[in-house]
Structure 1
Amino acid sequence: MMITPDALGRLPETPSQTAGPYVHIGLIPKQAGFDIFENTLGEHLVATATRGERIRVEGRIFDGTGTLVRDALVEIWQANTDGRYAHPADRQEGKATDPAFRGWGRTGTDFETGLWSFETIKPGPVAGRRGHQDMAPHLNIWIVARGINLGLATRMYFDDEAAANAADPVLNIIEQAARRRTLVAQRDERDGRAVYVFDIRLQGEDETVFFDV
């Protein structure tokens, strides 16, 4: 079908599509029952030699009605224990790289429970833009699912980093303190290990803050 411009020379917007049910098959096939990749980059970001405090991060995703989203894909990108990213563009001085830490992970919400999780380490503070005020330890999170045309970007901070959170330049952009709390994970202890719980709400009351990146 040929698309023609209107009287003002404008073309109509191309129809969009949601991510569809094939996100899992293409990006996390093992969860969808397809063991097709030799190396699966999944929810385990650490190795035996990785430096830093081992933690588990977990949560659930809710839609605007409070219903669990059981088919979402979740990615994280974070600094190492010294606050440095595993990327050549990170040139922070005085912060060591960690070859044993990938710094990036991908998983999906469990089809039954809606739970997503990562095995990682707690990151260190990262220098702000142009070397300004340090940012508090945090994870960068990206979410995609059916019904979400564009991936949603957010952050997860740690509730036991209150002083650093209070000074964080990104959190301070959010004017309402109650909204900042939607980005702070709660620490728990299980079998002597730290577990941070971070639920994400896509809409409605207590909607998680998302960023235009």
Structure 2
Amino acid sequence: MSFGLTPSQTVGPFFSHALTWLDGPDVVPESEPGAFWLRGRVFDGAGEPVPDALVESWQASPEGRFDHPDDPRGAVSGFRGYGRSATDDEGRWGIRTVLPGRVPGVDGRLQAPHIDLSVFARGLLDRVVTRVYFAGQPANAEDPVLSALSSDRRETLVAAVAQDGYVFDIRLQGERETVFFSV
């Protein structure tokens, strides 16, 4: 007997017992010097909020190092750099974090401070991955990834300054679709 390939399925539904992250949206504690909120909303192709998405963040420490064996400069312990936030009924998500340091790209050039985000949501066959850069950072002008994009596409990767940190909306499709990366 032979069986055919298993058909592709969309991500989800999510079962909260399997996705619980004890620290939730806290990459750093509230008392961490320089801590701020990175908040936003996830929108579908029709511009409607996605109430059942999951946003995960991964970033370097303020010194530009990862607590991971693949850090080309050697792993540094003490900064996890990971957070997870489910969206609410209005598609809102948030991560409490700190500004990451600059890290070298594959060509060795330093990249502007950024946070990698993975988004899981209904209707997606796999996660989508993007980056968040921060408005007002001088290094944005020389970042190799941002520099490779047209100005209208570059805007979709830059978080705006907010009262308690930064705002970064994620548009899965449609007008002003966020730039996503193949990883």
> Does the pair score TM above 0.5?
yes
1:184 and 2:154 are equivalent in the alignment = no
* CA distance, structure 2, for counterparts of residue 45 and residue 125 of structure 1: 17
Map 1:1-213; keep pairs closer than 5 Å. 2-3=2-3, 14-28=6-20, 40-47=22-29, 50=32, 53-92=34-73, 97=76, 99=78, 101-110=79-88, 112-130=89-107, 132-161=108-137, 163-174=138-149, 176-190=150-164, 195-213=165-183
Q: Is the 1:23–1:73 contact (alpha carbons within 8 Å) kept by the matching residues of 2?
A: no
Q: Which structure 1 residue ranges, 5 or more long, are not aligned?
A: 4-11, 29-38
Name the aligned partner's letter for residue 145 of structure 2. V
SS at match of 1:164: helix
Q: Is the 2:68–2:76 contact (alpha carbons within 8 Å) kept by the matching residues of 1?
A: no
SS at match of 2:144: coil
Shift of 1:22: 2.7
Shift of 1:13: 5.0
Shift of 1:92: 2.5
Q: Is the 2:30–2:96 contact (alpha carbons within 8 Å) kept by the matching residues of 1?
A: no
Q: Which structure 2 residue ranges, 5 or more long, are not aligned?
A: none
| Higher CA-based Rg | 1
Shift of 1:72: 0.2
SS at match of 2:180: coil
Name the aligned partner's letter for residue 181 of structure 1. E
Structure 1 consecutive aligned stretches of length 4 or more whose deviation exceeds 6 Å: none
137 and 71 in structure 1: CA distance in 2 versus 1, 3 angstrom threshold? same
TM-score, normalised to structure 1's length? 0.79
TM-score, normalised to structure 2's length? 0.91
SS at match of 1:181: helix
